[in-house]
Structure 1
Amino acid sequence: MEVAEVLPDFADAFAFEEFNRMQREAVPALLEREENVVASAPTASGKTALAELAICKALADDGTALFIAPLRALTNEKEDDWDRFEELGYSVYVVTGERDLNPRRARRADILVMTPEKLDSATRKHDSRRYDFVTDVDVCVIDEVHLLDADRRGSVLEVAISRLRRLCAPRVVALSATMPNVDDVAAWLDASEETTFEFDEAYRPVDLHAGVKTYTHGENSFADKYRRLYRALDIAEPHLRDDGQALVFVSSRQDTVRAAKKARDEIAERDVPIGVRGDYDSHTELKDAIENETLYHSMLDGVAFHHAGLSKTDRDLVEEWFKAGHVELLFSTSTLAWGVNLPARCVVIRDTKIHDPLEGEVDMSPLDVLQMLGRAGRPGYDDVGYGWVVCDTAEADKYRRLLTDGKEIESRLAESLETHLNAEIAMGTITDLEDVMDWLETTFFYVRGQSKPAEYDFPNLRERVRNCLEDLVERGFVETDADLSIEATPRGVLASKYYLRLETAATFADLADAVADGATLEPGDVLEAVATAEEFDSVSARQDERDAISAVLVGVDTEALDAGQRKVLAILRSAADGSPPAELRSDAWVIQRNASRLLSAQGAFLDRLAGPHAANLARRVEARIENGVSEDAVGLTAIDGIGPGRASKLSRDGLSTPADIVEARVAGLTDAGLSEGVAERVYEGAQSLPAVEIDWGSFPETIATGENDVCEVTIENVGEPARAGIRVTVNGVEMTSTSTYLRDTDTVPVAVFGADADELEFTVSVAFPETPLVPFDSRRTVDVE
């Protein structure tokens, strides 16, 4: 069955000319029917083509396709792979949290690519102009639907798909590795028997021989890694000597590099004949193309490493050389197993435990293990592939059972039911208990509960839901009325909008309430609320990090914090100063990225519940952590074209605020070292921000005891209009506070009264909650006579 005969208009969208046996059997269901499709098949059997078939049908019908990729790294790969669709005139647009969303491009896209988390977030905001594109999807392809069983992420995929189906009822095509209970997934997605496929190992292009190899666990975890590495090399060596290739999965990016270095030495000592070091042409080609010096020397010896931190050029080169056979031993993180089709005769999983910056040391998921082992066997080159798990003797039976019986897919919704229920209530799709039950019936949780009622506590489901609702009411996320209808509170709406765990939302709301009641808010309070967020509850501090943490936190009261919270706080404080210690950098990027989202959320809570000044403080803290600039220069980061380095340089030259930039003009900026083109852009960017001038008018200098007067102070915004908070204090005590959209001028009444004090200091402060501009303050002193 040739692609050009089946899909003549889309033949160039496929990387091959003929469909294989598995693909041929699925073609009629995908192209000739309209129903939902579920297909499970062994890794490397060609499931991606099924996704592309479904997408082609949607495009042929002038529809929009949505592809759900299991990992963020894979969304970028799909964007590259599907240049083939772009060449046919169809647009591909990736929507992830790492990129600024262009709603116009998203609306016009023919193929959208998203992660489960981004789909969940987008569907929560589907009624906004920014995310309305998500309701125009005609087919939704779920790649690796067995992700449903993943900790935390599984429930996100489950509720996002259930919500999408209620919003726009797209055709759903769900693909997965082999799983024993594919019928449950089909029941959830309403796929008929004719459109449900369970392709067994007979459809693997190469037979798989999988097993477990054990090693003796020692006292030192670092030494254990090398024990497992030598075990992995013992397994791989016969295949390398027989002109085969080996793929070894390790737990982290750093470990891929370390293991490759050690393996090069060991391979040389064992005199295993691999590598192209004597080949002048290959040597020259590699030297001219590669960016990573360590990788260059390693690849010459036939050994390489692959992880998401490498440049795309280097990753592509590693993949190209591995496919060509120039690299025979490759060390990689798990991302490679989910994405690139890069099989090897022998696959070894050296590490079954991984260090997650947010979770600490955790077991690799069974789904990851099976996915990695599925990469064993090179179609067209090998008759059999060999896959091995290297683990401690105590865990051997667990992995043998996994390899023998597979892994049934379970729902993880019950583990975070309150969070997802709150999101549905905040969206307005649930207004009473019956709505909750109707919603649950759309979930995979409900299907599995019918299959395993005891394990899912199904006989008590209604009571459990009622308790869940009562808890949401008690914690202030939901409110009910006499008719027992339910509605989200501002706390509940913000928790859903910013994708927070409920414990974190409660912490942020409590802090905002305290500030609204008169408590003073300091940057340290903002940082501590984030450091103690539930999202970081599993962060752990390794022994070699503790001295660096203590050095950062000198003088900071951390008595109430545990070791993990202190680590997060140290990373945030050092990031704000632009100097994270080397010992903390491996986890700092992930923690900072998550902290930025939490700081944005905290700012929204403060804005809604405590006022614009508190929100502005949180926004400045967020900008400092993102840019690593001093407190006095943070306002510069609001200007387009000014990043951390430029902000610090300008600040050192005495230009620390946007007002300073405007006053300096282009000439002053070029004197400070900026090129003329950059200076012009920065100057224009500074002019596009709000800028305040405060006129006190005929404000008195003295007042008699017992007398009072009301004066009007004029506030003029000489920059761009923006939402602002205006606050008046006397001797540090707030008199008035208002929120307004400041277009040009506004006036605020200020009462001057002869009090017991000898002197009254009045302050008018204007803060912009959505920018990191330092508040504009102006003061006047009145003597009491």
Structure 2
Amino acid sequence: MEVAEVLPEFADAFAFEEFNRMQREALPGLLESDENVVASAPTASGKTALAELAICKALSDGGTALFIAPLRALTNEKEDDWERFENLDYSVYVVTGERDLNPRRARRADILVMTPEKLDSATRKHDSRRYDFVTDIDVCVIDEVHLLDADRRGSVLEVTISRLRRLCAPRVVALSATMPNVDDVAAWLDAPEETTFEFGDKYRPVDLHAGVKTYTHGENSFADKYRRLYRALDIAEPHLREDGQALVFVSSRQDTVRAAEKARDEIAKRDVPMTARHDFHDYDFHDEKEDLENETLSKSVTDGVAFHHAGLSKNDRDFVEKWFKKGAIELLFSTSTLAWGVNLPARCVVIRDTKHHDPLEGEVDMSPLDVLQMLGRAGRPGYDDVGYGWVVCDGADADKYRQLLRDGKEIESRLAETLETHLNAEIAMGTIADLEDVMDWLETTFYYVRGQSKPDAYDFPNLRQRVRDCLEGLVDRGFVETGPELSIEATPRGVLASKYYLRLETAATFAELCDRVEEGESLEPEDILEAVATAGEFDSVSARQSERDAINAVLVGQETGDLEAGQRKVLAILRGAASGSTPSELRSDAWVIRRNATRLISALGAFLDRLAGPHAANLARRVEARVENGVAEDAVGLTAIEGVGPGRASKLATEGISTPEAVMDAGLEGLVDAGLSEGVAQRVYEGAQSLPVLEIDWGSFPESIAMGENDVREVTVRNVGEPARAGIRVTVNGVEMSSTSTYLRDTETVPVGVFGADEDDLEFTISVAFPEEPLVPLEESRTVDVV
């Protein structure tokens, strides 16, 4: 059955000309019906084409398609793959981070690509102009729906799909690797029997022989890696000698490089012949390798050995994939991302590492889903009759993996683990207003369906009581309020926790800090960094022995006695990031921790803005900008200028230009003298002009006042730049007299009470802060003598 025959207008959207047997059987259900579809099929059997068929039907009907990719690293790959749709005049848009989002492009896109987490965030804000595009989706394709059973991420996918179905009722097409309980997923998604497909192993293009190999665990984890590597090479060697290919999965990006380097030496010792060492027929592999950007990779591929991970440039990843497909690379080391994304089968697949280090979770087991996904890459259609997949593990874990390979993995719901958080989110959005609404919501979840299948395991008979306990917990912790007739409503704390995707214990900590500030406690940058470093989001971060000295050096002189080792590590990374000097010993985890921390600081800023005032929020915004850009405290305001990052901010600050006002005072000539090119200087100067610029006019403010007299004078705050939201605070001798929040377009008149107190003199200070900009507050003072 040819693609051009079935879908003539979309023939060029597919990477092949003919549908295979599995695709032919699913085709009528996808193209001739509007029912929801669930299809499970072995890895490498061609499931991606089912997604593309569903998308083609939606596009031909004039609709919008959403594709949910399991990993962020795969979203951009889909954008590249689907240039084929772009060539047919359909737009593909990947929805990434909050600040990168272009709502106009998202609104006009024909195909949207998102991760479950990004879709969760977007659907929570669906009633905003920025995210309203999520309510206009006609088909939602879930790639790898067995992600439902993943730690942390599974419940996100589950509640998000349930929410999306309530918002716009799209057709849902869920695809997955083989799973024993596909009927439960179909029941959850209301997919009828005729569009529920369970393609068994007979649809796998190459038979799979999978097993477990053990090694003897030693005292040293570093040495253990090499024990497992030699075990993996023992398994791969016979296949390499027969011109087969081997794919070895390891736990981290660094390990792919180290393992490839060690493997090259070992293969040379064992005198294993590798194809790439001689001319590769008419394929000019050796010339192409000069275009590689990674020097280590360039040396390695010459010997037929390579590595692949998401940190490589796209150029280098593309070359590795191309050469592996052509056979120029025979032994490839990769992280698990490759198993979920690129279709690179090998005759032999070895999982060297069944545990991996997560910067936020410490050492964790590879999920069963990842293990099965990786093993599924064994066997090259068209080249091999059988694929070989092996798990290398400690003897104590062998039975666990043998059972997984024998019985597969039933998909379970993980919602019970985070029920309180997701329930709070639904209440904050207003979709749940009382207990009955909670039950109605639960009935839309996979948790409810799975609970009916396994009532004892899910404690299903006590579900209603569990929900009551959950609601009472939310009320007790200040996230929810109860009203008349058992109604429930989110508090500001609950709304902010949902909006900023926080763990509830973190939101409670942030709210308590706001309360202390409201009660008059001073707020310092260190308070903000410590509140974030101790957040629940980082509770599994561990500090290795090799990192302890570096952590102590960064935190020297700071009182951190109450903090645990992992919290001290996070705090050290944040302090290092703020000063632009993260110690090399901490850099492997610093990127992930810093990225999560900036999100949390931004959330804390929103809490402070809502519950403690604009000045506190401005401090958080400045701390966030410093952690993000690594600039000095006095130069952080420069990062408010579009196009000024850490490098330019530091360069300008070194030349004495440390504020946007100083940029405008310097003018184009001064900026060029400070080392900027004329074009950059022009953009920076214009960027500074697009910020608020303040002047304070004290008017007829008195120089003295008699003891016991009172007077009220007016001070004018004038914004001669761009309008912005501002907080104006008046203090006398350091004690706050008044505080107002306003949208400062032009001028704001501030009444100031001048009184003859029992003091020799009074210092009145006007302070203006912008909660949404990292600008240092403008402060001016006048002293009044009491006579």
| Category of TM-score, reference length = shorter chain | over 0.9
Shift in Å, 1:283: 6.3
Shift in Å, 1:773: 0.3
Give the distance between the partners of 1:286 and 1:732, measured in 2 at CA.
68
Is the partner of 1:43 in helix, strand or coil?
coil
Shift in Å, 1:15: 0.5
Report what 2:196 is aligned to: 196
CA distance change for structure 1 residues 373 and 99 in 2, over 3 Å: closer, same or farther?
farther
Give the distance between the partners of 1:49 and 1:516, measured in 2 at CA.
57
Shift in Å, 1:99: 6.2
Is the partner of 1:641 in helix, strand or coil?
coil
Shift in Å, 1:750: 1.1
Report what 2:657 is aligned to: 655
Q: Is the Cα contact below 8 Å between 1:349 and 1:388 reproduced in 2? A: yes
Q: Is the Cα contact below 8 Å between 1:92 and 1:113 reproduced in 2? A: yes
Does 2:513 correspond to 1:514? no
Report what 2:616 is aligned to: 614
Q: Is the Cα contact below 8 Å between 1:358 and 1:591 reproduced in 2? A: yes
Report what 1:151 is aligned to: 151
Structural mapping, 1:313-352, within 5 Å = 313-352=315-354
Give the distance between the partners of 2:203 and 2:275, measured in 1 at CA.
33
Shift in Å, 1:754: 1.6
Deviations 1:488-541 (A, max 9, x none): 000000000001110111111111111111110000000011001111111111
Give the distance between the partners of 1:152 and 1:328, measured in 2 at CA.
36
Give the distance between the partners of 2:186 and 2:405, measured in 1 at CA.
24
Q: Which amino acid aligns with 1:479?
A: E
Does 2:395 correspond to 1:393? yes
Report what 1:134 is aligned to: 134
Q: Is the Cα contact below 8 Å between 1:276 and 1:282 reproduced in 2? A: no
Deviations 1:110-131 (A, max 9, x none): 0000000011111111111111
Deviations 1:560-588 (A, max 9, x none): 11111111100000000000011111111
Is the partner of 2:768 in helix, strand or coil?
strand
Does 2:727 correspond to 1:725? yes
Give the distance between the partners of 1:142 and 1:241, measured in 2 at CA.
40
Deviations 1:156-183 (A, max 9, x none): 0000000000111100000000000000
Give the distance between the partners of 1:756 and 1:554, measured in 2 at CA.
43
Report what 1:672 is aligned to: 674
Deviations 1:339-359 (A, max 9, x none): 000000000000000000110
Give the distance between the partners of 1:756 and 1:222, measured in 2 at CA.
71
Structural mapping, 1:541-556, within 5 Å = 541-556=543-558
Report what 2:259 is aligned to: 259
Shift in Å, 1:330: 0.3
Report what 1:235 is aligned to: 235
Report what 1:710 is aligned to: 712
Q: Is the Cα contact below 8 Å between 1:722 and 1:742 reproduced in 2? A: yes
Give the distance between the partners of 1:279 and 1:296, measured in 2 at CA.
16
Give the distance between the partners of 2:278 and 2:48, measured in 1 at CA.
38
Structural mapping, 1:359-438, within 5 Å = 359-438=361-440
Q: Is the Cα contact below 8 Å between 1:286 and 1:296 reproduced in 2? A: no
TM-score normalised to structure 1 length: 0.99
Q: Which amino acid aligns with 2:237?
A: E
Is the partner of 1:276 in helix, strand or coil?
helix
Give the distance between the partners of 1:442 and 1:118, measured in 2 at CA.
21
Give the distance between the partners of 2:98 and 2:476, measured in 1 at CA.
35
Give the distance between the partners of 1:370 and 1:288, measured in 2 at CA.
36
Give the distance between the partners of 2:482 and 2:382, measured in 1 at CA.
64
CA distance change for structure 1 residues 283 and 160 in 2, over 3 Å: closer, same or farther?
closer
Provide the alpha-carbon RMSD of the alignment.
Answer: 0.9
Q: Which amino acid aligns with 1:645?
A: G
CA distance change for structure 1 residues 380 and 287 in 2, over 3 Å: closer, same or farther?
closer
Q: Which amino acid aligns with 2:391?
A: V
Q: Is the Cα contact below 8 Å between 1:277 and 1:283 reproduced in 2? A: no
Unmatched segments (≥5 aa) in structure 1: none
Is the partner of 2:8 in helix, strand or coil?
coil
Report what 1:70 is aligned to: 70
Shift in Å, 1:482: 2.8
Give the distance between the partners of 2:99 and 2:2, measured in 1 at CA.
38
Is the partner of 2:197 in helix, strand or coil?
strand
Regions of 4+ moved over 4 Å: 280-284
Unmatched segments (≥5 aa) in structure 2: none
Q: Is the Cα contact below 8 Å between 2:285 and 2:328 reproduced in 1? A: no
Q: Is the Cα contact below 8 Å between 1:150 and 1:365 reproduced in 2? A: yes
Report what 1:120 is aligned to: 120
Report what 1:205 is aligned to: 205
Shift in Å, 1:759: 2.0
Q: Is the Cα contact below 8 Å between 2:594 and 2:627 reproduced in 1? A: yes
Give the one of 523, 526, 542 matched to 1:540.
542
Is the partner of 2:390 in helix, strand or coil?
strand
Give the distance between the partners of 1:669 and 1:287, measured in 2 at CA.
42
Give the distance between the partners of 1:114 and 1:658, measured in 2 at CA.
37
Give the distance between the partners of 1:439 and 1:287, measured in 2 at CA.
55
Report what 1:3 is aligned to: 3
Q: Is the Cα contact below 8 Å between 2:362 and 2:540 reproduced in 1? A: yes
Report what 1:19 is aligned to: 19
Shift in Å, 1:276: 2.6
Does 2:631 correspond to 1:636? no
Q: Which amino acid aligns with 1:623?
A: A
Shift in Å, 1:282: 4.4
Does 2:303 correspond to 1:296? no
Does 2:101 correspond to 1:101? yes
Deviations 1:59-110 (A, max 9, x none): 0100000000000011001000000000001000000227611111111100
Report what 2:783 is aligned to: 781
TM-score normalised to structure 2 length: 0.99
Report what 1:110 is aligned to: 110
Q: Is the Cα contact below 8 Å between 2:206 and 2:381 reproduced in 1? A: yes
Give the distance between the partners of 1:550 and 1:576, measured in 2 at CA.
17
Q: Which amino acid aligns with 2:389?
A: G
- The farther-off stretch of 281-290 and 668-677 is 281-290
Give the distance between the partners of 1:741 and 1:163, measured in 2 at CA.
35
Q: Is the Cα contact below 8 Å between 1:724 and 1:739 reproduced in 2? A: yes
Q: Is the Cα contact below 8 Å between 1:155 and 1:416 reproduced in 2? A: yes
Shift in Å, 1:284: 4.3
Report what 2:467 is aligned to: 465
